[in-house]
Structure 1
């Protein structure tokens, strides 16, 4: 029976231990999950800009293809972690060799992904069936976003490796690769960094990889806010798939999860006990977040003419309803808060533009639970981690999303 399994959640989380640029001098450890988050943030911007002329159905279909492609690529990358990019690209250039590698990768992933049901697993097999020949809009957006996010990382390490003979070749490959996507709206602006409002927003989001979660609690592995957002996004999509969410709801929940901690760009990661320790402190923090979001992000995008990106980001962050974890629909531009049960019934269709809040909060807490659980399994024991595990178990002990999706039962698997 399809469902969310412990092994699937841990697979997605495993990217927090996968180092990038491991043979180069680095200012800090650069992790795969952070790069994937940055890549999908850029992919969302390119999706919004290059899909704006499509009708609603095609626009949603494009978003779903981008989200699925991004997750498929990430899961594939988790398996081939030990293959250096230059070697992988040589394998990819040979269709026969690439298909052999892909067959092996899919065999490794099958036990953990089949629990999501036949459509997801079949989709991943078909995604890689044609080898490296994909050239549709969704694939080009993902490829461009991949290069832009990797180049952003490269700029972090470039000056630290002046004697490395590979650096000039790597930089030239980035420039040549990105040049092939100049026809996509937004690519030039993203390359300009702080000189353009679109690039400035991408730059700000990238900085969330420097911001550690649980900053006062030792953990192995440490996780950054940026990677955490990607993990929540993946969980959000998987859970929406399992409860029978419509396509728009799946896409919205992925991107809402991907952006849910963007306010921490401006407030840092304020832990829950601080937010609840003083009366109204949580409300004051939320008011400050929205004020700073408006001045530092929304206005920046709008000044660059990206009004639709600003509007959509406000919807994901729940600006009109006061919380990113509110369940909402949007009809004719009007955002309305609804109950989760209503999303499962009368509003579970693409025309209502549904976005889960209740379920995304579950995914957010599950990601925090796995962070704490993994640290304890790796030998780190302290009161903060133990309390987090206990509180989350207690909170969801009696919570079910459907008759077959019991959150307490899922957490019970982590013994």
Structure 2
């Protein structure tokens, strides 16, 4: 039986409803799940930049800590959604009040997480009960949080000139980031006081481009609620991929790769926009034409500028996550390993990867599992909308197609049929 519960999947998705800055004038709605995605993209870049010279095992440990503590913070935030940040920070300043709040949050989360992974639950409890946030992992996440939140606020700042808090809020993010400039990459992100510089660094430009994916709505021509963005969807797939990886007993490198592959799997849609599956299937050559265009634009707008800025490792990892790292690799949904010579090789399927590549030294990445999580996130987006009364032929087709595909499928101990049956 699957250890992944409907309650966990829905809890992760609930950030799609959480409006941010809802006491400010906003030209567009800003949601928690989008901010979390942007935060983790920035955290990934800072993690790579600040672990240069680390051993492979130490770097992997840092990456997994960044992922898990990012998820711990997100899950905590979902439960405490009604507490405004200033009040929350005051609670955190008092040790007794913080301990009581944390105890309540953990009691609320445990049923939703279910039998996911006792190690994950223990690490989450230990993290939230600790008040020490001085290590590299926490400094990276703090800088990424302040960048993503500051980026958002700078979008709405021109519309709130009448607000007496406007200037102090904007300055607070810059000051907090300036206190983190000892971390490599932070100065490149903010370039002094400018989140939106006219001549950004390669790192700042890439972070800005990724942030813009929050404005790109999925299923754009289909009435739906909530109207999830490409950016939020990427984070949802990343979280699902990480939880699935824990459940199938994936090695640490595989867990890390699956999370970040999920976090970037729709990055090309920054260049092509989201195109729903029925449209992609309507013209035989359309998928191939899109892939060619995506590759050209990725080189011109993402890989080229990052390479010119000296960020070759970031480019190399992005290529691997997007399925651009080997001669016989054609998609981000291919199951891959890296051989001792450094060459990337595609394996046959999930079972082949699990049996023959589930070790850190292979740098394994699940393509099949990632595709399952991508489809599961789409299912939940469609299913949630239909359950709230907003339906359409596109949504109904997606639900039926994914139900049929999952009904008799398994991934190791994961029964996809059991997971999907919970939504009947």
Q: Is residue 247–residue 350 contact of structure 1 (8 Å, CA) maintained in 2?
A: yes
- Paired residues, what number? 413
Going from structure 1 to structure 2, the CA distance change for 1:326 and 1:65 (only over 3 Å counts) comes to: same
- Give the Cα separation in 1 of the matches to 2:100 and 2:171: 30
- Give the Cα separation in 1 of the matches to 2:356 and 2:405: 28
- Give the Cα separation in 1 of the matches to 2:82 and 2:275: 35
- Give the Cα separation in 2 of the matches to 1:78 and 1:106: 12
Q: In the alignment, is residue 220 of structure 1 matched against residue 225 of structure 2?
A: yes
CA RMSD of aligned residues (A): 1.1
Gapped runs of 5+ residues in structure 1?
none
2:322 matched residue in structure 1: 317
Which residue among 401, 406, 414 is the counterpart of 2:411? 401
- Give the Cα separation in 1 of the matches to 2:284 and 2:109: 47
- Give the Cα separation in 2 of the matches to 1:318 and 1:30: 30
- Give the Cα separation in 1 of the matches to 2:391 and 2:224: 9
Q: In the alignment, is residue 167 of structure 1 matched against residue 176 of structure 2?
A: no
Q: In the alignment, is residue 372 of structure 1 matched against residue 382 of structure 2?
A: yes
- Give the Cα separation in 2 of the matches to 1:243 and 1:203: 35
Once the 2 structures are TM-superposed, how far is the Cα of residue 341 of structure 1 from its aligned partner? 1.4
- Give the Cα separation in 1 of the matches to 2:163 and 2:87: 18
Once the 2 structures are TM-superposed, how far is the Cα of residue 114 of structure 1 from its aligned partner? 3.0
Deviations 1:112-143 (A, max 9, x none): 11321211111100111213x22111111000
Q: Is residue 2–residue 115 contact of structure 1 (8 Å, CA) maintained in 2?
A: no
Q: How does 1:190-209 map to 2 (within 5 A)?
A: 190-192=189-191, 193=196, 194-209=199-214
Q: In the alignment, is residue 183 of structure 1 matched against residue 182 of structure 2?
A: yes
Deviations 1:303-336 (A, max 9, x none): 1000000011000000131211111112343111
2:305 matched residue in structure 1: 300
Q: Is residue 43–residue 141 contact of structure 1 (8 Å, CA) maintained in 2?
A: yes
Gapped runs of 5+ residues in structure 2?
none
Q: Is residue 2–residue 117 contact of structure 1 (8 Å, CA) maintained in 2?
A: no
SS in 1 for 2:148: helix
TM-score (ref. length: structure 2): 0.96
- Give the Cα separation in 2 of the matches to 1:333 and 1:307: 16
SS in 1 for 2:411: strand
Q: Is residue 229–residue 257 contact of structure 1 (8 Å, CA) maintained in 2?
A: yes
1:327 matched residue in structure 2: 335
Q: Is residue 25–residue 161 contact of structure 1 (8 Å, CA) maintained in 2?
A: yes
Q: Is residue 114–residue 121 contact of structure 1 (8 Å, CA) maintained in 2?
A: no
- Give the Cα separation in 2 of the matches to 1:2 and 1:69: 24
- Give the Cα separation in 2 of the matches to 1:17 and 1:190: 28
SS in 2 for 1:115: coil
